Amino acid sequence: MRGYFELPEATAETLRGGWLHTGDLARRDANGFYFIVDRTKDLILSGGYNVYPAEVEDVLQAHPSVAMCAVFGIPDDIKGEKPWAAVVPIRDTEVDVTALDKHCRAQLAAYKVPRRFVVVDELPRSSVGKILRRELRARYAAEASAVPGQAETAPAG
């Protein structure tokens, strides 16, 4: 790749020191195999800790009332960002956000547990089906002043 067409700033950010910086976050196992685990743009920095949305989503997806979910960061004056989760329930199922919170707390460090669970009918997606976390961040940023740690639903939108 030589660069992005007519986007010199994006090119400079992506092509640095002879390397193509994709924004993927990976881990390497004991056998030397690499696994893509998330994207740097999706990483949530909360109180100095890294919260990987994919890790939290894996826990939420294991809950019996969750069909789909997306975890995203909401700006926070104290912690920098706080994790929130948009949850699509399994058809004809109600989501008990208190149960989701308890489920997450049993399997995740406290700083990774979403501060708010927003129950929605569907998640915003791109034309190729990718979940658009930036749209969720923008949609719910106005609600960022909600009480920290409060688990509640919000109107689907």
Residue pLDDT, tens place only, 40-79: 678 899 999 999 999 999 999 999 999 999 999 999 888 9
Low-confidence residues of the chain, pLDDT below 50? 146-157
Closest CA to 41 of 133, 139, 112, 138: 133
CATH C-level class of 42-157: alpha beta
- pTM recorded for the entire structure: 0.75
CATH C-level class of 1-39: mainly beta
Give the residue ranges of DSSP H helices in the chain.
Answer: 8-14, 53-61, 97-107, 133-140
Contact (Cβ atoms closer than 8 angstroms) between residue 71 and residue 53: yes
Phi-psi region of 6 (alpha: psi -120 to 50; beta: other; left: phi over 0): left
Q: Give the pLDDT confidence score for residue 20 in this predicted structure.
A: 83
Contact (Cβ atoms closer than 8 angstroms) between residue 46 and residue 78: no
**Which part of the chain has CATH 2.30.38.10?**
1-39
